[in-house]
Amino acid sequence: MAPRIVVITGPTATGKTRLGVLLAKQLGGEVVSADSMQIYRRMDIGTAKPTAAEMQGVPHHLIDVAEPEESWSAAKFVDAATAACLDIISRGRLPIVVGGTGLYIDSLVQGRSFGAVDETGGTRRELEERFEEIGGAAMLRELAQLDPERAARLHPADKKRIVRAYEVYLLTGRTITELDRESREREPAFDAKYIILGWAERGELYRHIDARVDEMVAQGLFEEVEALLGSGLGPDTTAMQAIGYKEAAEALRGECSREEAVEKIKRETRRYAKRQLTWLRRREGALRIDWEGAPDFAAALRDSTTFCSAAV
């Protein structure tokens, strides 16, 4: 029987961090972050990283575990998060996975295999250079000879996924389509109970997103990005592609005004929330908590504790 975990997820700005801490204290758990950007040190404001006060003494894992110059993949996350969850369980405690990065969460629960990784990065660099040399359309045609199913799903401009699919084949001799199919057919690595937070009205979600962005700016988002760039962090790193950081960097380079950057951050965050909602609609058997007006965390904790009773 797969070991049990709890997953608290939902769109951005719905209170996942707070409920995760409350539930961990109630059930004797520890939090495992499933946020693709909170792994990076020195990126606190734009990632809404929980402060020590907000953690309330609850151990948090996979926060501040990498430098912004590093590139973390879903595969690397799965390895680290799996180890964290199993360690927590070995100590008689409950892993509570908190975050909104759907790919990370699904991959962790399913125990997804991503194929071999070239630790030197040489294969990927060569493929990226080839992409720039011959163009996305030509490279996608090449990929279609190796993995027609994956190639049919990709756009010629999708450099990251074209390169990754090609890389997997070169390193393993197998297609990423084959590996994905095997992962889906395999028994899940964890028995996960999902708690999904949201807002009853879409407009309310967007208002909270806008307010959060304004708060980040007031807390010093632009100064945080300026410090990262000043440390030598390049604009093409994975970390600097995060919503909030990319747009702030554009403003700091004079490509747009700060006001325009703030509006773009709000717009891109709303679009991201839409994608999160699409992913969440497919989740069956979850406890769904949709806030109406002010969030009632006491009621949410009570309902979540009852729902998770079979997981402890």
Give the pLDDT confidence score for residue 282 in this predicted structure.
84
Q: How far apart are CA 116 and CA 185, in angstroms?
A: 19
Where are the alpha helices (H) located in the chain, listed in sequence order? 16-27, 52-55, 74-90, 102-110, 122-134, 136-146, 148-153, 159-172, 176-185, 202-219, 221-230, 245-252, 258-281, 297-307
Q: How far apart are CA 188 and CA 6, in angstroms?
A: 14
Give the pLDDT confidence score for residue 311 in this predicted structure.
45
Q: Which of 1, 3, 16 is nearest to 297 (CA)?
A: 16
Q: Which domains, ranges and CATH numbers included, belong to the chain?
A: 4-111+190-311 (3.40.50.300), 122-185 (1.10.20.140)
Predicted TM-score (pTM) of this structure = 0.84
pLDDT tens digits for range 50-90: 999 999 999 999 999 999 998 888 888 999 999 999 999 99
In the chain, which residues have pLDDT < 50?
Answer: 311-312
Q: How far is CA 193 from the centre of its chain?
A: 18
Give the pLDDT confidence score for residue 103 in this predicted structure.
86
Q: Are 297 and 18 in contact (CB under 8 A)?
A: yes
Task: Give me the residue label for tokens 């891109």.
Answer: 268
Q: How far apart are CA 70 and CA 83, in angstroms?
A: 20
